[in-house]
Amino acid sequence: MIKRMTAAGILALAMGSASMPAFASGWPVFDAANFLKNTLTAAQALKTEVYENTNIAYQYKMMLNQLTQATGLDPAALAEQANVIKADISKLEEYGQTLQSLYGGISESADFLARVQSLVVVSGKTPEQWFQDQRTLIGNGDKAAKQLFSIARKIAGNNQSLAKRRAKIQEDMTLSPTAQATAEATNHMLDVLASQNSDVLQLMSAKAQSDATKDQRALAADTEATNVTQQIQRDQEAQLNKLRQTVFKN
Protein backbone atom coordinates (compact mmCIF):
# COMPACT_ATOMS: atom_id res chain seq x y z
CA MET A 1 0.00 0.00 0.00
CA ILE A 2 2.83 2.40 0.90
CA LYS A 3 4.61 1.63 -2.37
CA ARG A 4 1.43 2.32 -4.34
CA MET A 5 0.84 5.62 -2.53
CA THR A 6 4.47 6.62 -3.14
CA ALA A 7 4.16 5.77 -6.85
CA ALA A 8 0.97 7.79 -7.11
CA GLY A 9 2.63 10.74 -5.36
CA ILE A 10 5.64 10.69 -7.68
CA LEU A 11 3.36 10.53 -10.71
CA ALA A 12 1.32 13.45 -9.41
CA LEU A 13 4.52 15.51 -9.06
CA ALA A 14 5.54 14.55 -12.57
CA MET A 15 2.18 15.66 -13.89
CA GLY A 16 2.48 18.95 -12.10
CA SER A 17 5.76 19.64 -13.89
CA ALA A 18 4.44 18.50 -17.28
CA SER A 19 3.58 21.46 -19.44
CA MET A 20 1.49 21.64 -22.58
CA PRO A 21 3.31 22.67 -25.78
CA ALA A 22 3.39 26.36 -26.58
CA PHE A 23 1.96 27.84 -29.76
CA ALA A 24 3.51 30.29 -32.19
CA SER A 25 1.77 31.75 -35.22
CA GLY A 26 -1.08 29.29 -34.80
CA TRP A 27 1.17 26.21 -35.03
CA PRO A 28 2.36 24.05 -32.10
CA VAL A 29 6.03 24.26 -31.13
CA PHE A 30 7.79 20.88 -31.11
CA ASP A 31 9.47 20.38 -27.74
CA ALA A 32 11.06 16.94 -28.06
CA ALA A 33 12.37 16.84 -24.48
CA ASN A 34 8.94 17.64 -23.05
CA PHE A 35 7.21 15.14 -25.35
CA LEU A 36 9.62 12.34 -24.43
CA LYS A 37 9.42 13.12 -20.72
CA ASN A 38 5.63 12.95 -20.68
CA THR A 39 5.63 9.83 -22.84
CA LEU A 40 8.08 7.99 -20.60
CA THR A 41 6.20 9.11 -17.49
CA ALA A 42 2.96 7.72 -18.92
CA ALA A 43 4.73 4.49 -19.87
CA GLN A 44 6.08 4.10 -16.33
CA ALA A 45 2.60 4.74 -14.90
CA LEU A 46 1.16 2.05 -17.15
CA LYS A 47 3.94 -0.32 -16.14
CA THR A 48 3.04 0.27 -12.49
CA GLU A 49 -0.61 -0.45 -13.24
CA VAL A 50 0.32 -3.68 -15.03
CA TYR A 51 2.26 -4.77 -11.94
CA GLU A 52 -0.58 -3.87 -9.58
CA ASN A 53 -3.20 -5.53 -11.77
CA THR A 54 -1.13 -8.73 -11.95
CA ASN A 55 -0.90 -8.84 -8.15
CA ILE A 56 -4.63 -8.27 -7.73
CA ALA A 57 -5.45 -11.00 -10.27
CA TYR A 58 -3.12 -13.37 -8.42
CA GLN A 59 -4.88 -12.62 -5.13
CA TYR A 60 -8.27 -13.35 -6.72
CA LYS A 61 -6.97 -16.66 -8.05
CA MET A 62 -5.73 -17.56 -4.55
CA MET A 63 -9.18 -16.72 -3.17
CA LEU A 64 -10.80 -18.95 -5.79
CA ASN A 65 -8.41 -21.78 -4.97
CA GLN A 66 -9.16 -21.51 -1.26
CA LEU A 67 -12.89 -21.39 -1.97
CA THR A 68 -12.83 -24.55 -4.09
CA GLN A 69 -10.98 -26.37 -1.29
CA ALA A 70 -13.38 -25.21 1.42
CA THR A 71 -15.63 -27.80 3.08
CA GLY A 72 -18.90 -27.59 4.97
CA LEU A 73 -20.31 -24.75 2.81
CA ASP A 74 -23.56 -24.68 0.90
CA PRO A 75 -22.80 -25.91 -2.64
CA ALA A 76 -25.11 -23.37 -4.29
CA ALA A 77 -23.62 -20.45 -2.37
CA LEU A 78 -20.11 -21.80 -3.05
CA ALA A 79 -20.77 -21.99 -6.81
CA GLU A 80 -22.28 -18.49 -6.88
CA GLN A 81 -19.28 -16.99 -5.07
CA ALA A 82 -16.86 -18.87 -7.32
CA ASN A 83 -18.57 -17.55 -10.45
CA VAL A 84 -18.33 -13.98 -9.13
CA ILE A 85 -14.60 -14.38 -8.50
CA LYS A 86 -14.07 -15.95 -11.94
CA ALA A 87 -15.84 -13.00 -13.56
CA ASP A 88 -13.61 -10.57 -11.66
CA ILE A 89 -10.51 -12.51 -12.73
CA SER A 90 -11.63 -12.35 -16.38
CA LYS A 91 -12.07 -8.56 -16.14
CA LEU A 92 -8.67 -8.16 -14.50
CA GLU A 93 -6.99 -10.29 -17.16
CA GLU A 94 -8.68 -8.34 -19.96
CA TYR A 95 -7.67 -5.09 -18.29
CA GLY A 96 -4.11 -6.36 -17.93
CA GLN A 97 -3.89 -7.24 -21.63
CA THR A 98 -5.16 -3.78 -22.59
CA LEU A 99 -2.65 -2.14 -20.23
CA GLN A 100 0.21 -4.12 -21.76
CA SER A 101 -0.92 -3.26 -25.30
CA LEU A 102 -1.19 0.41 -24.37
CA TYR A 103 2.24 0.29 -22.74
CA GLY A 104 3.63 -1.09 -26.01
CA GLY A 105 1.90 1.68 -27.96
CA ILE A 106 3.29 4.39 -25.68
CA SER A 107 6.75 2.87 -26.05
CA GLU A 108 6.33 3.13 -29.84
CA SER A 109 5.42 6.78 -29.38
CA ALA A 110 8.64 7.33 -27.44
CA ASP A 111 10.66 5.62 -30.18
CA PHE A 112 8.96 7.73 -32.86
CA LEU A 113 9.56 10.99 -30.99
CA ALA A 114 13.22 10.05 -30.46
CA ARG A 115 13.49 9.35 -34.18
CA VAL A 116 11.94 12.69 -35.10
CA GLN A 117 14.24 14.48 -32.65
CA SER A 118 17.31 12.82 -34.19
CA LEU A 119 16.14 13.73 -37.71
CA VAL A 120 15.73 17.36 -36.65
CA VAL A 121 19.21 17.41 -35.11
CA VAL A 122 20.84 15.78 -38.14
CA SER A 123 19.14 18.26 -40.49
CA GLY A 124 20.78 21.16 -38.67
CA LYS A 125 17.53 23.12 -38.84
CA THR A 126 15.12 24.36 -36.22
CA PRO A 127 12.10 22.10 -35.48
CA GLU A 128 9.84 24.65 -37.16
CA GLN A 129 11.94 24.63 -40.35
CA TRP A 130 12.14 20.82 -40.35
CA PHE A 131 8.38 20.39 -40.00
CA GLN A 132 7.85 22.98 -42.74
CA ASP A 133 10.10 20.88 -45.00
CA GLN A 134 8.12 17.75 -44.12
CA ARG A 135 4.83 19.43 -44.95
CA THR A 136 6.25 20.48 -48.32
CA LEU A 137 7.57 16.97 -48.99
CA ILE A 138 4.26 15.35 -48.01
CA GLY A 139 2.42 17.78 -50.27
CA ASN A 140 4.75 16.83 -53.13
CA GLY A 141 4.21 13.11 -52.54
CA ASP A 142 7.61 12.28 -51.02
CA LYS A 143 7.51 8.60 -49.95
CA ALA A 144 9.80 8.95 -46.91
CA ALA A 145 7.87 11.91 -45.49
CA LYS A 146 4.51 10.23 -46.15
CA GLN A 147 5.72 7.05 -44.43
CA LEU A 148 6.90 9.03 -41.40
CA PHE A 149 3.55 10.80 -41.16
CA SER A 150 1.71 7.50 -41.63
CA ILE A 151 3.62 5.95 -38.71
CA ALA A 152 2.80 8.88 -36.46
CA ARG A 153 -0.88 8.77 -37.40
CA LYS A 154 -1.04 4.99 -36.86
CA ILE A 155 0.61 5.18 -33.42
CA ALA A 156 -1.61 8.06 -32.28
CA GLY A 157 -4.79 6.34 -33.49
CA ASN A 158 -3.87 3.02 -31.89
CA ASN A 159 -3.06 4.62 -28.55
CA GLN A 160 -6.32 6.56 -28.59
CA SER A 161 -8.42 3.45 -29.27
CA LEU A 162 -6.58 1.49 -26.56
CA ALA A 163 -7.05 4.32 -24.06
CA LYS A 164 -10.80 4.33 -24.76
CA ARG A 165 -10.92 0.56 -24.31
CA ARG A 166 -9.02 0.89 -21.05
CA ALA A 167 -11.46 3.51 -19.79
CA LYS A 168 -14.42 1.30 -20.75
CA ILE A 169 -13.04 -1.66 -18.80
CA GLN A 170 -12.39 0.61 -15.81
CA GLU A 171 -16.07 1.50 -15.72
CA ASP A 172 -16.94 -2.18 -15.26
CA MET A 173 -14.37 -2.80 -12.52
CA THR A 174 -14.21 -1.94 -8.85
CA LEU A 175 -10.81 -0.46 -8.04
CA SER A 176 -9.35 0.22 -4.62
CA PRO A 177 -8.92 3.91 -3.68
CA THR A 178 -5.16 3.72 -4.27
CA ALA A 179 -5.52 1.94 -7.60
CA GLN A 180 -8.20 4.43 -8.62
CA ALA A 181 -5.92 7.37 -7.81
CA THR A 182 -3.10 5.81 -9.85
CA ALA A 183 -5.48 5.17 -12.75
CA GLU A 184 -6.72 8.77 -12.71
CA ALA A 185 -3.14 10.04 -12.73
CA THR A 186 -2.35 7.81 -15.70
CA ASN A 187 -5.49 8.99 -17.48
CA HIS A 188 -4.30 12.57 -17.12
CA MET A 189 -0.93 11.73 -18.66
CA LEU A 190 -2.65 9.92 -21.54
CA ASP A 191 -4.74 13.05 -22.16
CA VAL A 192 -1.54 15.12 -22.30
CA LEU A 193 -0.02 12.67 -24.78
CA ALA A 194 -3.17 12.70 -26.92
CA SER A 195 -2.91 16.48 -27.17
CA GLN A 196 0.80 16.38 -27.98
CA ASN A 197 0.36 13.61 -30.57
CA SER A 198 -2.30 15.77 -32.17
CA ASP A 199 0.20 18.64 -32.28
CA VAL A 200 2.81 16.47 -34.03
CA LEU A 201 0.26 15.33 -36.61
CA GLN A 202 -0.81 18.92 -37.18
CA LEU A 203 2.79 20.00 -37.67
CA MET A 204 3.42 17.31 -40.27
CA SER A 205 0.06 17.39 -42.04
CA ALA A 206 0.15 19.09 -45.42
CA LYS A 207 -3.64 18.94 -45.51
CA ALA A 208 -3.89 20.89 -42.26
CA GLN A 209 -1.65 23.55 -43.75
CA SER A 210 -3.60 23.68 -47.02
CA ASP A 211 -6.88 23.86 -45.11
CA ALA A 212 -5.56 26.75 -43.05
CA THR A 213 -4.44 28.55 -46.23
CA LYS A 214 -7.81 27.86 -47.84
CA ASP A 215 -9.61 29.28 -44.81
CA GLN A 216 -7.46 32.41 -44.92
CA ARG A 217 -8.20 32.90 -48.61
CA ALA A 218 -11.93 32.35 -48.04
CA LEU A 219 -11.89 34.90 -45.21
CA ALA A 220 -10.06 37.41 -47.37
CA ALA A 221 -12.52 36.85 -50.23
CA ASP A 222 -15.48 37.29 -47.88
CA THR A 223 -13.97 40.48 -46.50
CA GLU A 224 -13.37 41.85 -49.98
CA ALA A 225 -16.90 40.92 -51.08
CA THR A 226 -18.32 42.64 -48.01
CA ASN A 227 -16.32 45.79 -48.73
CA VAL A 228 -17.49 45.82 -52.36
CA THR A 229 -21.12 45.35 -51.30
CA GLN A 230 -20.86 48.17 -48.79
CA GLN A 231 -19.30 50.45 -51.44
CA ILE A 232 -22.13 49.67 -53.88
CA GLN A 233 -24.69 50.50 -51.19
CA ARG A 234 -22.94 53.80 -50.48
CA ASP A 235 -22.88 54.67 -54.19
CA GLN A 236 -26.56 53.82 -54.56
CA GLU A 237 -27.47 55.94 -51.56
CA ALA A 238 -25.43 58.85 -52.93
CA GLN A 239 -27.15 58.59 -56.33
CA LEU A 240 -30.56 58.40 -54.66
CA ASN A 241 -29.84 61.49 -52.56
CA LYS A 242 -28.65 63.34 -55.66
CA LEU A 243 -31.83 62.37 -57.51
CA ARG A 244 -34.01 63.52 -54.60
CA GLN A 245 -32.27 66.88 -54.47
CA THR A 246 -32.83 67.37 -58.21
CA VAL A 247 -36.54 66.46 -57.97
CA PHE A 248 -37.15 68.71 -54.97
CA LYS A 249 -35.44 71.68 -56.69
CA ASN A 250 -37.65 71.31 -59.73
Residues 173 and 226 in one domain: no
Share of the chain above pLDDT 90, in %: 1
- Report pLDDT digits (tens) over 4-28: 433 433 333 333 334 444 444 466 7
- Report pLDDT digits (tens) over 153-165: 888 888 888 888 8
Domain count along the chain: 2
- Report pLDDT digits (tens) over 174-205: 777 777 887 888 888 888 888 888 888 888 88
Helix, strand or coil for residue 23?
Answer: strand
Domain range for 163 is 2-204
Helix, strand or coil for residue 95?
Answer: helix
- pLDDT, mean of residues 145-171: 88
Q: How many CB atoms sit inside 10 A of residue 154's CB?
A: 13
Q: Is residue 135 a contact partner of residue 205, using CB atoms and an 8 Å limit?
A: yes
For residue 72, the 8-state DSSP code is S
Residues 99 and 156 in one domain: yes
Higher pLDDT, 231 or 53: 53
Q: How high is the pLDDT of residue 211? A: 57
Residues 200 and 222 in one domain: no
DSSP bridge pairs for 28: 23
Residues 107 and 82 in one domain: yes
Q: Which of 184, 204, 224 is where one domain is finished?
A: 204
Q: How high is the pLDDT of residue 218? A: 63
Helix, strand or coil for residue 125?
Answer: coil
**Does residue 209 form part of some domain?**
no
Q: How high is the pLDDT of residue 219? A: 62
